[in-house]
Structure 1
Amino acid sequence: MKKSLLQAVTLSSTLLLSSTAFAEVSANIGATSNYLWRGVTQTDGAVAVQGGIDYAHESGFYAGTWASNVDFGDAATYEADFYAGYSGEFGEDFTYDVSYLYYAYPDADSSYDFGEITFLLGWKWLELGYSKVVNADSDVSGADSETDWSYLQANVSFPLTEKVSLGVHYGYSQGDVVKNIFSETYSDYNVSLSADTDVGTVSFMVSNTDLADDDAKVVLGYSYSFDL
């Protein structure tokens, strides 16, 4: 499925936290040969240009915004995401992350903005997650109050070398909203390789779903992150 909002969040956080506490703001830009969200193309199989700004505080609080072009065959041309969350560590090698993410399509002629809460639990190379839609516009849900839409995921990441990593992902989308959109619940899965270079991160991914008539997709990506 990332400036004004970020500035507002940053300002409010700064007022609440010690002025000596460490915080950083970073940005990222990138491109992908096909923008996939949970295994489904958001650009009709075409290239996407993407970027975002992130704020992170040493307490574990973070917030950000991210955007990408999209193509759903209607008036919508871009997606703008806004999110905030809290992450940390506990025990030995365990991590957690709780966040809220709002997906917005400002120039769409339909009402399909929505937001979801995500819980992630990690251990070394394994991460498990659960996401639940908590608010959805009527053209997403089919009804103003319908938010029966959740997502389960499992991710593993293995370093192959100092700069190259292998990733494997499995996800399952379920709920009445999913059935309204796709006519069925479905699974998505992918295998990816990513390599860190002096000029950014490049990636290669093969992704597929078990949706009827869906085919495997090969996706090439590039991203570059920098501090502000």
Structure 2
Amino acid sequence: MNNKYSLFCAISLLFTHAQAFADSAGSVSANVAASSNYFWRGITQSDDGAAVSGGLDYDSGKGFYIGTWASNVDFGDAASTSYELDLYAGFSGEYNQLSYDLGYIHYAYPDAAGDIDFGELYASLGWQFFTVKLSHLTTAQDDSTSEEDMLYLELNAAFAVFSESELGLHIGRSSGDTVMEWTGEDDSYMDYGVSLSTGGLTLGLVKTDLDADDDIKAYVSYALDFTL
């Protein structure tokens, strides 16, 4: 069976059962958003253009969760694809004032000319305002010419400011052979971000230390969440 068709079938099956489970335990929610730019680890995924995204999530209420998320993308001449479709699952909770989250995410590009999908395992720990997260590449595209090696370490902080607003701070480091293949530069780089959010509206700035993409870039986004 075609891998991309299998992915769609898996998503449909999982959320059919998730909706049934939500009737007795847990909950299903949806989200939609529009943004002036779609950034991933400091690098635009929409060729500095606007992006519209949306997703579905099932939360068991006992730690386990599963979800899917999609957005338009534009990688220019680097890859012929128009959208990204993610599927993820994990387990989260709290222990002695520490929050934790362990999971897996698969990044799929169903209409790409070649196989550019990849997946990552992730783990995070949070305490008060701060969260540290580690993501490690587990699978890369079939036509990758380098070793499947990429590690992303990030530190995030969120503080309540003004009236019902949140200030977010972010710093991350990508490293590994796959980073060099994707960026065409060194095998590591740093990205930075700051954002201010209120009532679903977010204003933000992002920057990397990549030679080809080191300008400070601004974006604005608006998101809505729904309980189904």
Tell me the TM-score normalised to structure 2 length: 0.89
> Which position in structure 2 is the counterpart of 1:178?
179
Structure 1 position 11, deviation (Å): 6.0
- Answer whether contact 2:195 2:203 (CA < 8 A) is retained: yes
- Structure 1 residues 22-64: Cα deviation after superposition (integer angstroms, max 9, x where no partner): 3100000011100000000001000000000000011110001
> Which position in structure 2 is the counterpart of 1:128?
132
Question: Which of 172, 178, 190 is equivalent to 2:193?
Answer: 190
| Structure 1 residue identity aligned to 2:190 | S
The 5 Å alignment of 1:1-228 reads 5-10=10-15, 22-73=25-76, 74-91=79-96, 93-139=97-143, 141-143=144-146, 146-182=147-183, 183-184=185-186, 185-196=188-199, 201-214=200-213, 215-228=215-228
- Answer whether contact 2:174 2:189 (CA < 8 A) is retained: yes
Rounded to whole Å, the distance in 1 between the matches of 2:80 and 2:170 is 31
Rounded to whole Å, the distance in 2 between the matches of 1:163 and 1:207 is 23
Structure 1: 5+ residue stretches without partners: none
Q: Identify which range, 99-108 or 175-184, moves more after superposition.
A: 175-184
- Structure 1 residues 79-135: Cα deviation after superposition (integer angstroms, max 9, x where no partner): 0000000000000x2100001000000001122100000000000100001000101
- Answer whether contact 2:18 2:58 (CA < 8 A) is retained: no
Rounded to whole Å, the distance in 1 between the matches of 2:182 and 2:66 is 29
Structure 1 position 142, deviation (Å): 1.7
Structure 2: 5+ residue stretches without partners: 1-7
- What is the count of residue pairs matched by the alignment? 216
Rounded to whole Å, the distance in 1 between the matches of 2:102 and 2:131 is 13
| Structure 1 moving runs of 4+ over 2 Å | 3-15, 17-20
- Answer whether contact 1:6 1:55 (CA < 8 A) is retained: no
| 3-state DSSP of counterpart to 1:148 | coil
User: How well do the aligned residues superpose, as a CA RMSD in angstroms?
Assistant: 2.0
- Answer whether contact 2:55 2:70 (CA < 8 A) is retained: yes
Rounded to whole Å, the distance in 2 between the matches of 1:56 and 1:223 is 19
- Structure 1 residues 137-193: Cα deviation after superposition (integer angstroms, max 9, x where no partner): 133x325xx321110000000001341000000000000111122221100001000
Rounded to whole Å, the distance in 2 between the matches of 1:195 and 1:208 is 22
| 3-state DSSP of counterpart to 2:179 | helix
Tell me the TM-score normalised to structure 1 length: 0.89
| 3-state DSSP of counterpart to 1:213 | coil
Rounded to whole Å, the distance in 1 between the matches of 2:68 and 2:222 is 19
Rounded to whole Å, the distance in 1 between the matches of 2:89 and 2:28 is 14
| 3-state DSSP of counterpart to 2:112 | coil
Residues 222, 135 of structure 1: CA spacing in aligned structure 2 closer, same or farther, 3 A cutoff?
Answer: same
| Structure 1 residue identity aligned to 2:203 | F
